[in-house]
Chain A
Amino acid sequence: MLKVTIDGQTIEVPEGTTILQAARMLGPEVAPPAMCYYSKLETSGGYCRTCIVKVSKGSEKDPRPMPKPVASCRTMVMDGMEVQNKTSPELVEARKGVVEFLLANHPLDCPICDQAGECHLQDLSFEHGIESTRYEFERRTFKKIDLGPHIQLHMTRCILCYRCVKVADQLTPERYHGVLNRGDVSEISTYIEKSIDNEFSGNVIDVCPVGALTDKTFRFKSRVWFTKPVDAHRNCDTCSGKVTLWYKGDDVLRVTGRKDAFGEVADFICNTCRFETKKTSDWVIEGPRVIDKKSVISANHYLSDLKVPDFAYEVGEDYKKIDDTPKLLNPAAQ
């Protein structure tokens, strides 16, 4: 086990853990933001540079600090390493710079973007960005491309995190899309707009941190914060069948994988589950999905600290009866 200190908090982690993973073990408050790293996808990370941290002490053996900020998603923990994330003012400044670069060519069309409300770039710029942009030139734009019947690619919004390329590489039998051109005109695309057609292609929508890849069955149906997420499962031959259903009224507007606090899905799901089974009768409902209380999606839906019981486990001997006898608000008044 290796000892690592991140922003003053120490944790022991097994060998081969990255700084980002160690920070995530300490909790979402400590973890640096990540736009391109995805723990379920191999070789992801290192591109967006939002997860940079300052290593103020290399290790117990070699205590020299690292000369430049490092990408925490790609840097392994060494024993005795000391890392500064939010406690280093120059790092906070550097990250502000990265956010500004990511936003420089982003269209900021949040009012008409389906991703708004669950967009990582929105969260990132809210938490780590500056108030206004200093970029005053025309932003680059691309034409929208239909990637098959279910997915639409709006390259203008893309931040080139390469996650969807990794999904296609690692989840699907053949990769039809990739990065064309270079520099600030490089784009995610398929060769001569060929459609992506395989059972797991829909996962590129889930991994996309912004609104560049959107679900055509959900486009412009509703703002995400008007929909209620509910965990559900079904027997599926191709995938685990564990999904989140997004309800508006009695209608399932869309189906996604179950995303955790870091926006990563637990299981990748197949296209049949995602696009074709949209009736409540198709699913076994497990209960409401807990969304991070900071998220706009959970606004007005649930009490922030209400623990949703997981019935599969808790209706056993561990089930504790809730003490519902009335109490005075101010015990001293008794």
Chain B
Amino acid sequence: MGKKLLLANDHIPGIQGYEVYRKNGGYASVEKALKTMTPEAVVEEVKKSGLRGRGGAGFPTGMKWSFLAKPEGVQRYLVCNADESEPGTFKDRYLMSRIPHLLVEGMITGSFALGAKTSYIYVRGEYYYIIAILEKAIKEAYAAGWLGKNILGSGFDHDMYVQPGGGAYICGEETALLESLEGKRGNPRIKPPFPAIKGVWGCPTVVNNVETIAAVVPIVNDGGDAYAAIGIGRSTGTKLISASGHINKPGVYEIELGVPVEEFIYSDQYCGGIKNNKKLKAVVAGGSSVPILPANLILKTVNGEDRLMTYESLSDGGFASGSMLGSGGFIVMDETTSIVKNLWNFARFYHHESCGQCSPCREGTGWMEKILHKIVHGHGEMKDIELLWDLQRKIEGNTICPLGDAAAWPVASAIRHFRPEFEEYVLNGHSIKDVKHYYSVNRIQE
């Protein structure tokens, strides 16, 4: 079992409450930062750690923090993106419901580093019970003097608020999140200006994922170098993976980056192999929006190297033969899964969640869903596959925010790697009930 940094104490009973959390070394990072470090030193440690954004894009956090504009007399804000709605991702929910104080602690330390007097936790609306958990944790932190005026006598004031979202996937996009936080319609803003210059209420803002902010705690406690020692290359530290699908042990796992994918799927420490001894068919490695990969490509890269759970290794080969680590929503599909039906489900999601602001995404997501609906229900034609391919190509890269890309990539990868299956649907005009038949028709080696 690898080293655990975030979920090391999650098995302790009562860790949700302040007393137990504090007894197990909680709030040490706030103490250390406020008493012995300058804000710049904290940013420096985060830079040294090589921590990368855990929300999906993998942008270096230290660099993001150093980009924050610091004009005189203007408030700065730290916003925690807890609007976790990517299908297949549920790590933040687990973290916040099990160890809410870890997030609160990370928020205080992070805000100290950024000089933010106010911070917000924007929680997905559907996580209503987590809002209560977080509010209780914040209340306890206020009572214990970790929040409020002049924390630990350092002269640093900080207030923290929880903001429930309205229930839209798009509000996980950082600028849409800021709009929603300001009480407006959650439409992504057009960048530039970036939030680091003009964020919430027009002030410089840093938006970070829950896991990223939580990771600041071990970085400050043990130092950036100790964090950077874990992992491989530019993928440092640990990552929470939400494993779901046809596996024996679905759940949230904290892994050291660099674990081979094969080990992650088949080892008893992690997923414990495919359910009912079926064969692996495909994996969506980082939440529904990243490209789906067939079994042979997810286990080994085209060069024959073992694929590892790192940012670099998973994206090896580009989109032709690679994928992305994304937010760590690891969806495993066994041989009985219909890729076409699965894709239709994803397309339905993106159609429903498109904000409707820019035309390629507004019209394109709905169009793709309708075509897939047609194919799945046995009315598809060969030209529909070409049309799908063409549509995803015209959506990708032409939209305001990454939702267009997120809708296009699964379509592109499914057609790229599983085209025979689409053709099977079109030719036989019915859903594939007999998978053996499908394999024999397409002469695919089992």
Contact = CB atoms under 8 A, between A and B. Distances in A.
Contacts of A179: 185, 356
Contacts of A183: 351-356, 362, 365-366
Given A101-B364, A184-B365, A46 B355 contact: no
Contacts of B185: 178-179
A94 B393 CA distance: 9
B359 A159 contact: yes
Given A182-B355, A183-B352, A184-B366, A49 B387 contact: no
A281 B204 CA distance: 57
In terms of DSSP, what is the predominant structure of the interface of chain B? helix
Contact of B398 (A52, A67, A134, A160): A52
Interface stretch (A68-76, A216-224, A254-262, A294-302): A68-76
Contact of A101 (B190, B370, B394): B394
Contact of A137 (B362, B370, B398): B370
Contact of B367 (A74, A135, A160, A185): A135
Chain B interface residue bracket vs A = 20 to 34
Contact of B354 (A67, A100, A102, A182): A182
B168 interface: yes
Interface in B349-404: 351-360, 362-367, 370, 387, 390-391, 393-395, 397-400
Nearest to A93: B394
Contacts of B400: 46-47, 71
A104 B367 contact: yes
Chain A interface residue bracket vs B = 35 or more
Nearest to A105: B363
In terms of DSSP, what is the predominant structure of the interface of chain A? loop
Interface string A89-104: 0000110011011101
Contacts of A135: 367
Given A46-B400, A179-B185, A183-B353, 8 more contacts: A46-B190, A69-B398, A71-B400, A98-B394, A102-B363, A105-B363, A183-B365, A184-B356
Interface of A: 45-50, 52, 67-69, 71, 74, 93-94, 97-98, 100-102, 104-105, 134-135, 137, 159-160, 162, 178-179, 181-186
29 contacts: A45-B190, A46-B190, A47-B400, A48-B358, A48-B359, A49-B359, A50-B359, A71-B190, A97-B360, A97-B394, A97-B395, A98-B394, A100-B394, A101-B362, A101-B364, A101-B394, A160-B362, A178-B185, A182-B354, A183-B352, A183-B355, A183-B362, A184-B356, A184-B365, A184-B366, A185-B356, A186-B355, A186-B356, A186-B362
